[in-house]
Amino acid sequence: MAATRKTRDKDLPDVSMDTSSSKPQDDGVEGDGEGRKKFRRNKKRDMPWDDPSIDKWKIEPVTADNPLPPPLEESSFAVLFPKYREKYIREVWPLVSKTLRQYGIACELNLLEGSMTVKTTRKTWDPFIIIKSRDMIKLLSRSFSVEKAFRILEDNMYCDIIKIKNLVRNRERFVKRRQRLIGPNGATLKAIELVTGCYVMVQGNTVSAMGSIKGLKHVRKLVEDCMNNVHPIYNIKTLMIKKELQKDDKMKSENWDRFLPKFKKKNVKRKKKKKIKEKKAYTPFPPAQLPRKVDKELESGEYFLSKEQKEQSAKSKRSLENAKKGLKRKRERAAEFVVPTSNIATMGGKKGAKSAKELAIKIKNGQKTKNRKKAKDFLA
């Protein structure tokens, strides 16, 4: 085996590890350096797309003239609406379907189920419009008018539905805090809309808002704070100050914490009326032991009765109590129809009127005197 290895090694070409021969050989070809220089020059040369006037980050708007390819599969969304909105939605539905048809969206109104459905078609030229149309029918079901709901189809408009039902456990507190958002004659709600630049609608257990993303964040914080017992006027005040500071160019890079109001939460403890306990006379002996249920039954004789007899006695007691309550209710109802005697004396506001007959005679006499005066005036 060793001999065969030697012969194989002899057959292989002699490759020496001399570093001196590792330099690139010039095969008589000139101009390699010039070619590289030309390549570098071409690389540095300005290309037609390297124009400073062209904005590479600009997103071209999707329109009917500049459409995107239609979706390959159909997408659909369905939204339920309450019974009281049925009449309004039925009246407005032709206008809704006409508007969505412009974007290539098919819509359907089902009055039996109480639902609105939107679908994509082969004519849909904007794939994101299906999400916008879903938000539109959501807002329609939550008491938004059609004019306001159509604004969600614009590019820079978004919506947010804030659930406030589970933020407060007590129903009375929930109603009071929800009323704070609206304010007297809707003044607080109008202020929130002006400060945030969003449309806001408080309906049932939700608050629906529509506007820019920044405005929607402010609305959500304001609503959640209100349900956590922070009055909305505090957040409105801070937003108003921030709005004024944004107008000043010098204040943009500075910290605004010194200008913003700091409200401390105060827990005002209500004074509870102390119950004055009457001191009992001191006795060294413990109180008498109360009788047991069995002892009471032994005294009354119920202990020796059978099960059927006990049930019968309990039924008779219930019937007696019900009869007493029924009589009491009848008396209370009858008292409403009894003519009060004390008011008869004061009828007409005149003194000396003791009964209804006397009042009637006085009224007749008064009419006679008036007729006499009229006759005298006529004769004169």
* Dist CA 159 CA 156 (whole Å): 10
What is residue 36's predicted lDDT score, i.e. its pLDDT?
A: 66
Spatial separation of the C-alpha atoms in residues 122 and 128, rounded to whole Å: 14
| Confidence bin at 214 (pLDDT 50/70/90) | very high
Q: What is the mean pLDDT of residues 237-258?
A: 83
Cα separation, 122 vs 349, whole angstroms: 84
| Predicted confidence (pLDDT) at residue 92 exceeds the cutoff of 70 | yes
Phi-psi sector, 4: left (phi>0), alpha (psi -120 to 50), beta: alpha
The predicted model scores a pTM of 0.55
Helices and strands per DSSP (H, E), number in the chain: 13, 6
Give tens-digit pLDDT for 278-326.
888 888 888 888 999 999 988 988 888 888 998 998 999 999 999 999 9
Q: Give CA–CA dist 235/362, Å, rounded.
A: 69
Mean pLDDT along residues 206-210? 92
- Per-residue pLDDT band for 192 (boundaries 50, 70, 90) equals very high
- Percent pLDDT > 90 in the chain is 32
In this structure, are residues 207 and 193 in contact, taking their beta carbons and an 8 Å threshold?
no
Q: Region 337-366: what's the mean pLDDT?
A: 63
Alpha helices in the chain (DSSP H): 2-11, 32-44, 86-101, 129-141, 146-149, 171-182, 187-196, 213-227, 232-247, 293-300, 307-337, 342-346, 356-379
Per-residue confidence at 40, pLDDT binned at 50, 70, 90? low
81-85 average pLDDT score: 90
Helix/strand/coil for 39: helix
Section 114-130 average pLDDT: 91
Nearest to 186 by CA among 199, 205, 174: 199
Higher per-residue confidence, 178 vs 379: 178
SS3 211: strand
Give the mean pLDDT of the chain.
80
